[in-house]
């Protein structure tokens, strides 16, 4: 169990949080009708070649955000503390996550009524499905469910990680990497390795998904960081980042022809979080951040890192406003608008959560 503050993780957490916002800012530029607040849904539409280029770059680069968050959690939490039971682990993690999420689910189901973001019927529907799924205007909350799933599995995999050899972890990671080729195998060859309409659980299903990032983070912590020099980590990390980013960005660009309505799942194939290119990209960025050499964290960085979960929860309340200002009213060029919207949303969200943090019992509201 990590007891000393891991400085590079504070920087990495802020970076990943900003990338989440960058994804959502970019998605306003390939809504199906190109409107100011039309985040991409099942269908996508790019108005011109400029939007095509900068959406590919900004959104494509940001698709490592979720895997990075998963790896940060695993790096800090595994193996779980000696003597800690599964129930104690669950209680500690879920108390930090569930109350703030429940609070913001209620807000996203009700507050938009004030400015016409949703109607009464939608609000009632969202509240009635409170225990089943995220609200209509809180699509980013999808991430909470796999995160909780990873937390539930951590006490189960922790004993194996403690006794597994380096080769055994490498074997697991190898099977995980092979499973990340599945989206491409399905595109090119159809159903493989036991997949069929009555069975989605293919041969490597048990090694697939975010659990692979959990094991990868553990491997980096206990084998790569102690054994690789800083210069080696930086060199390998930069190469992996450049190659992974290039594939991820280009995979969207080559398919996203302007003026045509696309299936989002098709053009975003290479942006799926558990694809081989995204794993390579995430691995590279994580290694680069391990090269940060500081004994302490500046106060602002530490504070933003501590507030990052709250920033993630609240940011969609701010995003639409800044899209309206910078995309619609000011009509900034896409190359500038997306990062400006993202930065303004990040700062607005940080200030909001900072103010809330002064309230009594605020940890139950913002994590």
Q: What is the C-alpha to C-alpha distance for residues 349 and 353, in angstroms, rounded to an integer?
A: 6
Alpha-carbon distances, residue 172 vs 155, 220, 286 (angstroms):
17, 14, 19
Q: Which two tokens stand for residue 305?
A: 């890192």
Sorted by sequence, the CB contacts under 8 Å of residue 97 that are 6+ apart come out as: 144, 147, 148, 151, 309, 367
Q: What is the C-alpha to C-alpha distance for residues 210 and 273, in angstroms, rounded to an integer?
A: 8
76-125 pLDDT, tens digit per residue, is 999 999 889 999 999 999 999 999 999 999 999 999 999 888 899 999 99
What is the predicted pLDDT for the residue at 292? 93
What is the predicted pLDDT for the residue at 43? 85
Q: pLDDT at residue 38 above 80?
A: no
Note the pTM of the prediction, 2 decimals: 0.92
Run of H or E residues at 179: helix 166-179
Give CA 61 to chain center in angstroms.
12
Give the DSSP per-residue string, 85-113: -HHHHHHHHHHHHHHHHHHHHHHHHHGGG
pLDDT level of residue 2 (50, 70, 90 thresholds)? very low
Q: What is the C-alpha to C-alpha distance for residues 202 and 180, in angstroms, rounded to an integer?
A: 12
pLDDT level of residue 295 (50, 70, 90 thresholds)? confident
């Amino acid at each position: 169990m990590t007891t000393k503050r891991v400085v590079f993780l504070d920087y990495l957490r802020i970076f990943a949080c900003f990338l989440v916002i960058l994804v959502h800012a970019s998605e306003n530029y390939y809504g199906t009708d190109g409107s100011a607040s039309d985040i991409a849904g099942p269908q996508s539409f790019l108005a011109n070649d400029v939007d095509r280029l900068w959406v590919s770059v900004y959104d494509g680069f940001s698709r490592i955000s979720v895997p990075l968050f998963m790896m940060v959690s695993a790096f800090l939490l595994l193996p779980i503390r000696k003597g800690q039971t599964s129930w104690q682990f669950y209680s500690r993690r879920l108390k930090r996550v569930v109350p703030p999420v429940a609070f913001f689910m209620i807000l996203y189901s009700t507050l938009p009524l004030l400015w016409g973001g949703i109607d009464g019927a939608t609000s009632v529907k969202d509240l009635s499905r409170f225990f089943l799924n995220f609200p209509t205007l809180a699509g980013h909350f999808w991430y909470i469910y796999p995160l909780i799933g990873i937390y539930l599995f951590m006490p189960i995999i922790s004993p194996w990680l403690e006794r597994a050899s380096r080769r055994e972890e490498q074997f697991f990671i190898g099977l995980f990497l092979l499973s990340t080729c599945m989206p491409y195998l399905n595109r090119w060859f159809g159903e493989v390795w036991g997949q069929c309409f009555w069975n989605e659980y293919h041969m490597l299903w048990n090694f697939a998904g975010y659990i692979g990032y959990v094991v990868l983070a553990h491997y980096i912590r206990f084998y790569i960081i102690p054994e690789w020099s800083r210069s080696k980590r930086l060199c390998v990390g930069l190469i992996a980042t450049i190659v992974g980013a290039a594939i991820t960005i280009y995979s969207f660009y080559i398919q996203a022809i302007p003026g045509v309505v696309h299936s989002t799942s098709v053009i975003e194939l290479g942006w799926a979080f558990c694809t081989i290119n995204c794993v390579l990209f995430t691995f590279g960025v994580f290694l680069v951040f391990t090269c940060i050499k500081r004994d302490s964290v500046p106060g602002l960085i530490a504070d933003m890192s501590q507030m990052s979960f709250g920033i993630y929860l609240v940011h969609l309340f701010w995003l639409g406003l800044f899209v309206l200002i910078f995309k619609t009213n000011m009509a900034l060029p896409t190359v500038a608008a997306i990062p400006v919207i993202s930065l303004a949303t990040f700062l607005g969200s940080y200030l909001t959560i900072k103010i809330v943090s002064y309230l009594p019992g605020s940890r139950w509201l913002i994590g």
